[in-house]
């Protein structure tokens, strides 16, 4: 099972944010992406998750091209992303945010609602159960009824992970999950990621905090100016002269 990124390019105006990105990532892996600001990392996530169309290239999930699928369709295919800046509904509580992140099922069609009220109630019960399980897993019980706008930066990142978990994904793309998070909560988030990975959920993690990332992932890619400069085990990649030159300033 794999996510294949084949020669993806994307320009904004005249600016090439992605310039022929190729990567193959096992969908049950812990895979890191690092690179300086503006390297194109978040744009790559936007293309992979379907929020931004590529100009050229192809994305395959488990062998199937997914370029024509919308973000919700890609989520149903098992792949979700989080955003660098958490996108919780700040006026909703943690619990309500998780509820709102459950994928539409029967309730989608009015006709379905009319003819199958029992089915809808069953779906609702299942969603409520998944919400409570997610709250317990992420240890958000104490803030479950707090409007999420009032959470700390780290708690918002946990909620963002929780929102991704609501679609019961196989692969989660995390955009800077440790940015602005205190060290204790970083450890907490890392443990949750490792537990989920042990259950077979894969992660691709963009991160600025190199030290945190290299503790977590056995493989990573380095991006700079829209390209993948190097890929491999963290120690080997960070010793690569091309990487040192571009990312660490020589
Ligand atoms: P990173 O996540 O590696 O810091 P981004 O993918 O956010 O980098 O951005 C890569 C480059 O593309 C940056 O120069 C950024 O300004 C530009 N960019 C990203 N999204 C847009 C957009 N929607 N419109 C115009 N330029 C964009
Ligand atoms: Mg970014």
C-alpha 124 – ligand 1 centre gap (Å): 38
Pair 217, 199 in one domain: yes
The phi and psi torsions of 59 (rounded to 5 degrees) equal -115, 130
C-alpha 178 – ligand 2 centre gap (Å): 12
- Average pLDDT of the residues in 58-76: 94
Q: Sheet harboring 227-232: ordered strands across? A: 79-81, 171-175, 202-206, 30-34, 219-224, 227-232
Pair 176, 126 in one domain: no
Task: Tell me which of 75-84, 106-115, 125-134, 136-145 is least confident.
Answer: 106-115
Collapsed DSSP state (helix, strand, coil) of residue 34: strand
The set of residues, in sequence order, having a beta carbon less than 8 Å from that of 227 and lying 6+ positions away, is 19, 20, 21, 40
- Write a three-state SS string for 155-210: HHHHHHHHHHHCCCCCEEEEECCCCCCCHHHHHHHHHHHHHHHHCCCEEEEECCCH
Q: Name the residue range of residue 38's domain.
A: 2-88+154-247
The model's confidence at residue 106, banded by pLDDT at 50, 70 and 90, is: very low
Span 130-170, pLDDT tens digits: 999 999 999 999 999 999 999 999 999 999 999 999 999 99
The model's confidence at residue 122, banded by pLDDT at 50, 70 and 90, is: confident
Pair 30, 80 in one domain: yes
Pair 78, 136 in one domain: no
Pair 80, 166 in one domain: yes
Nearest CA to ligand 1 atom 25: 12
Q: What is the pLDDT of residue 113?
A: 57
Span 189-213, pLDDT tens digits: 999 999 999 999 999 999 987 888 9
State the average pLDDT for the chain: 90
Q: Is pLDDT above 70 for 105?
A: no
Task: Tell me which of 6-15, 68-77, 198-207, 238-247 is least confident.
Answer: 238-247
The model's confidence at residue 44, banded by pLDDT at 50, 70 and 90, is: very high
Our answer on whether the CB atom of 115 is closer than 6 Å to any ligand 1 atom is no
Pair 9, 75 in one domain: yes
The verdict on pTM exceeding 0.80 is yes
Pair 24, 146 in one domain: no
Task: Tell me which of 95-109, 211-225, 230-244 is least confident.
Answer: 95-109
Q: Where does residue 136 rank: exposed (0-12), middle (13-18), buried (19+ CB within 10 A)?
A: exposed
Q: How many domains, in total, are found in the chain?
A: 2
Which CATH number belongs to the domain containing residue 60 in this structure?
3.40.50.300
Higher pLDDT, 8 or 112: 8
Our answer on whether the CB atom of 40 is closer than 6 Å to any ligand 1 atom is yes
Q: Which of 125, 150, 175 is the last residue of a domain?
A: 150
The residues placing their C-beta within 5 Å of ligand 2, an ion, are: 41-42, 84
Pair 210, 230 in one domain: yes
Q: Which of 116, 150, 184 is the last residue of a domain?
A: 150
Q: What is the pLDDT of residue 79?
A: 94
Q: What is the pLDDT of residue 89?
A: 82
Closest atom of ligand 1 to 223 CA is 3
In the chain, what percentage of residues exceed pLDDT 90? 70
CA distances from 244 to 176, 205, 206 (A): 21, 20, 18
Pair 160, 142 in one domain: no
Q: What is the pLDDT of residue 249?
A: 62
Q: How far apart are CA 150 and CA 216, in angstroms?
A: 29
Pair 63, 183 in one domain: yes
Pair 64, 107 in one domain: no
Pair 159, 55 in one domain: yes
Q: Is pLDDT above 50 for 107?
A: no
């Amino acid at each position: 099972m794999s996510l294949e990124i084949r020669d993806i390019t994307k320009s904004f105006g005249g600016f090439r944010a992605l310039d022929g990105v190729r990567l193959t990532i096992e969908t049950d892996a812990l895979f890191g992406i690092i690179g300086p600001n503006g390297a194109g990392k978040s744009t790559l996530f936007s293309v992979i998750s379907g929020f931004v169309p590529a100009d050229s290239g192809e994305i395959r999930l488990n062998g199937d091209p997914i370029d024509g699928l919308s973000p919700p369709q890609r989520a149903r295919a098992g792949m979700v992303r989080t955003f660098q800046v958490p996108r919780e509904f700040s006026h909703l509580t943690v619990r309500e945010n998780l509820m709102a992140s459950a994928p539409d099922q029967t309730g989608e069609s009015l006709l379905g609602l009319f003819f199958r009220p029992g089915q809808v109630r069953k779906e609702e019960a299942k969603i409520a159960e998944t919400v409570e399980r997610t709250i317990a897993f992420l240890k958000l019980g104490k803030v479950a009824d707090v409007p999420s706008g009032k959470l700390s930066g780290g708690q918002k990142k946990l909620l963002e992970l929780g929102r991704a978990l609501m679609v019961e994904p196989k692969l989660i793309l995390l955009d800077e999950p440790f940015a602005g998070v205190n060290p204790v909560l970083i450890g907490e988030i890392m443990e949750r990621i490792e537990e989920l990975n042990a259950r077979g959920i894969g992660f691709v993690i963009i991160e600025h905090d190199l030290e945190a990332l290299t503790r977590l992932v056995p493989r990573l890619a380095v991006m700079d100016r829209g390209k993948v400069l190097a890929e491999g085990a963290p120690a080997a990649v960070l010793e690569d002269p091309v990487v040192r030159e571009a990312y660490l300033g020589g």
